[in-house]
Amino acid sequence: MRRIIYQSVVSPDLDRMELFRLLYQARAANERRGLSGLLLRSDQRFLQVLEGPTWKLCAAFQTIRRDVRHSHVEVLDERSVPERIFSNWPMRYFDDSDIAKVLNMISAEAHGAVPKVVDEAVPSFFGCDQARANQLRAHLA
Ligand X SMILES: Cc1cc2nc3c(=O)[nH]c(=O)nc-3n(C[C@H](O)[C@H](O)[C@H](O)COP(=O)(O)O)c2cc1C
Nearer to ligand X, 63 or 97 (CB): 63
Nearer to ligand X, 68 or 141 (CB): 68
Smallest distance from ligand X to CB 72, Å: 11
Smallest distance from ligand X to CB 52, Å: 9
Q: What is the DSSP pairing of strand 2-10 with strand 45-52?
A: antiparallel
Nearer to ligand X, 31 or 129 (CB): 31
Contact (Cβ atoms closer than 8 angstroms) between residue 84 and residue 3: yes
Smallest distance from ligand X to CB 90, Å: 8
Nearer to ligand X, 46 or 126 (CB): 46
Smallest distance from ligand X to CB 95, Å: 13
Distance (Å) of CA 115 to CA 21, 68, 86: 30, 30, 12
Cα(92)–Cα(73) distance, integer angstroms: 19
Contact (Cβ atoms closer than 8 angstroms) between residue 107 and residue 60: no
How big, in percent rounded to 5, are the helix, strand and coil portions of the chain?
Answer: 45, 30, 25
Nearer to ligand X, 29 or 100 (CB): 29
Contact (Cβ atoms closer than 8 angstroms) between residue 24 and residue 93: no
Cα(65)–Cα(47) distance, integer angstroms: 13
Residue whose Cβ sits closest to ligand X: 29
Smallest distance from ligand X to CB 139, Å: 30
Q: Which residues sit at the interface with ligand X, rule CB under 6 A?
A: 22, 25-26, 29-30, 35, 39, 46, 48, 50, 60, 63-64, 67, 69-70, 91
